[in-house]
A and B are shown apart, each in its own frame.
Chain A
């Protein structure tokens, strides 16, 4: 069943009916039926403050900086500066894989925090921060640098983390980066990405200008791949197989030394545009390094991207790309043959962060599945412009969708599978709707590249065709008697 535009619009109006007028007017601008004729024009309003009183799935600027951009850099220690919760509750949740010995030369899954107490709010936390730097130097001498990730209170009490970073950095002779990513800045984690990119520019790239490395004509950097479940690894092997040399990974399984190589590469390859376009733009303007977006979800997009990347280089690379594509055909064609019959025609609703709502579509389509609704938590207008051609006409598009709206849309569209975040996961599972957590791959992955596609296809089948779903009754739909029994028993 696919809907036409009028039906999609009617669905939107029906769902918005319960809101007060002002809220309705505001939310209306964030919801639409895709109009493929409108390519290049305005789609929905994006990157605006969420309405007070609704359930949003967005995160904060600290989450964007510490959790996304800085956190995966494995040989640096990232201090969650402020109260203990922000860092502890998000600790290691994003599954940015890395190699190394945790606690010795890599620190990815550890939580470093200044654990603010009342005293620190009253008298300021700068002294404590200096002490922490000393302690880190003593306990973890092999770390290659420190970033200070400000949580809300730090900005509110006006601490001077820049001064501490400067003094202490000189003292220990390593890079210390103060990041002003207090959670209250901006409307979502998106501004945190931006702030993190700006600090990478000022504290890492600017200082690495004199650094000399041996270069080849085939040096590239992977940008905006956080190695979730090993994504960057399954991407990297493809790039290496076609003859390129990956000198830096920003920032999954990355090191500060790699980032410093950034300005010397021939081409920056951006996977997550939303979180790292800023640094790529900067490198293009300042160092003349061109950048290119690519997409390694699903064989169709993989082949397309490998050809696009190869076209930037010479014929040897192009020839190798064709060989690699032919080689992996042997691998992925049987996978499609196996899973497509199990998944064909199934409807999928997506609601993810800033890239996947458009990037993973190809992988679903390779399995014969259909996207009936998609939307982003924190995308900007250009992301929606890029989404329009990726989905069919009249597909429902939602920006910063509220918990209520998403549930209602799902009730009406009756998708066979929902891919969204952990905040949505348990509600839909209790409703008996097959669900995949598409931020950190639900404890699975990698999903990038041809190797990742095999895992993706298996996971989607495993979830969607699991016999458990129709045996579930949502707790709120269970007859009252049972509940009484539970209370008494």
Chain B
């Protein structure tokens, strides 16, 4: 379960930074992005997918969270 940091870029798009791999990628899809539910499966620009336990509210970004390979 690596730690990933989700960040909102200047253009509003989400990006994901995986510290362990020292890898930065744009987030191309996120399963839940609603006021009361955020997270789930996220897909990165390089095609890899991670799963973040959905939160019950929008997080204050940037935020480091646990994710697992989906």
A40 to chain B: which residues have CB within 8 Å?
Answer: 26, 45
Q: List the B side residues contacting A190 at CB < 8 Å.
A: 22
- Structural contact, B62 and A47, CB atoms closer than 8 A: no
Q: How far is the CB of A378 from chain B (nearest CB, A)?
A: 11
Check if A41 is an interface residue, CB within 8 A of chain B: yes
Docked CA distance A10–B62 (Å): 43
Partner pick for A194 among B22, B25, B46, CB 8 A cutoff: B22
Quick check: is A191 within 8 A (CB to CB) of the other chain? Answer: yes
Query: B24 an interface residue at 8 Å Cβ cutoff?
Result: yes
> What sequence of 0s and 1s flags, for each residue 189-209 of chain A, a beta carbon within 8 Å of any chain B beta carbon?
011001000000000000000
B63 & A380 in contact (Cβ 8 Å cutoff): no
Segment 1-57 of A: residues with Cβ below 8 Å from B: 40-42, 47
Contact with B along A426-455 (1 / 0, CB 8 A): 000000000000000000000000000000
Q: Does A463 contact B (CB under 8 A)?
A: no
Kindly state whether residue A382 has any CB partner on chain B within 8 Å: yes
* Beta-carbon contact of B64 and A382 below 8 Å: no
| A41 and B45 contact, Cβ closer than 8 Å, known pairs A285-B62, A285-B64 | yes
User: Which of B5, B22, B45, B64 gathers the greatest number of chain A CB atoms within 10 Å?
Assistant: B22
A 40-84 binary contact with B (CB < 8 Å = 1; else 0): 111000010000000000000000000000000000000000000
For the complex, give the distance between the alpha carbons of A381 and B62 in Å. 20
The reply on A281 being an interface residue by CB < 8 A is: yes
Quick one: CB contact mask for B17-31 with A, threshold 8 Å, 1 for yes? 100001111100000
Given contacts A285-B62, A285-B64, whether A380 and B23 have CB atoms under 8 Å apart is: yes
**Which residues from B are CB-within-8-Å of A285?**
5, 62-64
Q: Is A115 an interface residue (CB 8 A)?
A: no
Q: Are B26's CB and A381's CB within 8 A?
A: no
Q: A42, B46: Cβ atoms under 8 Å?
A: yes
Q: State in angstroms the CA–CA spacing of A189 and B54 once bound together.
A: 37
A194 to B24, CA, bound (A): 14
Contact call A47/B5, Cβ cutoff below 8 A: no
Tell whether, in the assembled complex, residue B22 and residue A380 are in contact, meaning their CB atoms are under 8 Å apart.
yes
A40 to B24, CA, bound (A): 12
Q: Does A284 contact B (CB under 8 A)?
A: yes
Contact A381 B25 (CB under 8 A): yes
CB-CB nearest in chain A for B46: A42
Question: In angstroms, how far is the closest chain A Cβ from the Cβ of B6?
Answer: 10
Closest chain A residue to B61 by CB distance? A285
Contact B22 A284 (CB under 8 A): no
Q: Is the interface of B mostly helix, strand, loop or mixed?
A: strand
Contacts of B23 in A (CB 8 A): 47, 380-381
The reply to whether A281 and B62 form a contact with Cβ atoms under 8 Å apart is: yes
Provide the residues of chain A in CB contact with B45, threshold 8 Å.
Answer: 40-42
Q: Report A313 CB to chain B, min CB distance, Å.
A: 16
Interface string of A369-402 (1 = CB under 8 A from B): 0000000000011100000000000000000000
Minimal Cβ-Cβ distance residue in A for B15: A382
| From B24, B25, B46, residue with most partner A Cβ within 10 Å | B24
Q: Is the CB of A381 within 8 A of B5?
A: no
User: Which residues does chain B contribute within 8 Å of A284, judged by CB atoms?
Assistant: 7, 62
- Complex Cα–Cα for A41 and B7 (A): 19
From residue A57, how far is it (CB to closest CB) to chain B in Å?
Answer: 20
Closest to A292 in B: B10
Interface residues of B in 20-60 (CB under 8 A from A): 22-26, 45-46
Within the complex, which residue of B7, B22, B26 is in contact with A47, where a contact is CB–CB below 8 Å? Answer: B22
> In angstroms, how far is the closest chain B Cβ from the Cβ of A325?
22
Contact between B22 and A281, CB atoms less than 8 A apart: no
Q: What residue of chain A has the Cβ atom nearest to residue B64's Cβ?
A: A285
Is B17 touching A281 in the complex (CB atoms < 8 A)?
A: yes
Cβ distance A25 to chain B, nearest Cβ, rounded Å? 19
Docked pose: A297 CA to B64 CA in angstroms: 33
For residues 111 through 125 of chain A, which have their beta carbon under 8 Å from a beta carbon of chain B? none
* Complex: A285 Cα to B17 Cα, angstroms: 13
> What residues of chain A lie closer than 8 Å to B5, measured between beta carbons?
281, 285
Contact across chains for B64 and A380 when beta carbons are under 8 A apart: no
Docked complex Cα distance between A346 and B38 (Å): 52
Cα A382 to Cα B17 in complex, Å, equals 10
Bound CA span A40–B25, Å: 9
A46 — nearest CB in chain B belongs to which residue? B23
Q: Which residues of A contact B17 (CB under 8 A)?
A: 281
Query: Which residues of A in the span 253-288 have a Cβ within 8 Å of any Cβ on B?
Result: 281, 284-285
Q: Which A-chain residue is minimally distant from B17 (CB atoms)?
A: A281
Smallest beta-carbon distance A421→chain B, Å:
22
Give the 7 A-B residue pairs with the shortest CB-CB distance, closest first.
Answer: A382-B24, A285-B62, A284-B62, A194-B22, A42-B46, A380-B22, A281-B5
**Which B residues have a C-beta under 8 Å from some C-beta of A?**
5, 7, 17, 22-26, 45-46, 62-64
Q: Told that A281-B7, A284-B7 touch, could you supply 4 new A-B pairs with CB distance under 8 A?
A: A190-B22, A194-B22, A281-B5, A281-B17
Q: List 23 A-B contacts (CB under 8 A).
A: A40-B26, A40-B45, A41-B45, A42-B45, A47-B22, A47-B23, A190-B22, A191-B22, A281-B5, A281-B7, A281-B17, A281-B62, A284-B7, A285-B63, A285-B64, A380-B22, A380-B23, A380-B24, A381-B23, A381-B24, A381-B25, A381-B46, A382-B25
